[in-house]
């Protein structure tokens, strides 16, 4: 049995739950930012402010990319499922 498959290398249930909770919290934080940036983008579009809209569009893209990465972490094989 090598170190990668030994029982000592597996995370404890408490550590796995804490990791899952951090991922869900990060997802919530990212969604909060996404909502804020989306509202700001809408306001700048309403004003016709192309430069500010472009900044918010980049922020929205970054949040969307992060959200997909976090979702992939949640869906990873061996990831514990359930409510946070």
What are the boundaries of each domain within the chain? 30-84
Q: How confident is the model at residue 83 (pLDDT cuts 50, 70, 90)?
A: very low
- The DSSP code sequence of 9-25 is GSPPHHHHHHHHHHHHH
pLDDT at 8 over 90: no
- CA angle (58, 59, 64) in 5-degree steps: 100
Q: What is the pLDDT of residues 54-71, one digit of tens each?
A: 999 999 999 999 999 999
| Short-list 36, 69, 68, CA closest to 55 | 36
């Amino acid at each position: 049995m090598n170190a990668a498959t030994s029982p000592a290398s597996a995370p404890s249930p408490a550590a796995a739950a804490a990791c899952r909770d951090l991922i869900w919290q990060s997802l919530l934080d990212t969604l909060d930012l996404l909502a804020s940036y989306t509202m700001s983008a809408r306001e700048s579009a309403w004003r016709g402010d192309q430069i500010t809209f472009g900044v918010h569009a980049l922020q929205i893209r970054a949040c969307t990319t992060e959200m997909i990465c976090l979702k992939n972490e949640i869906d990873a094989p061996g990831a514990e499922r359930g409510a946070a």
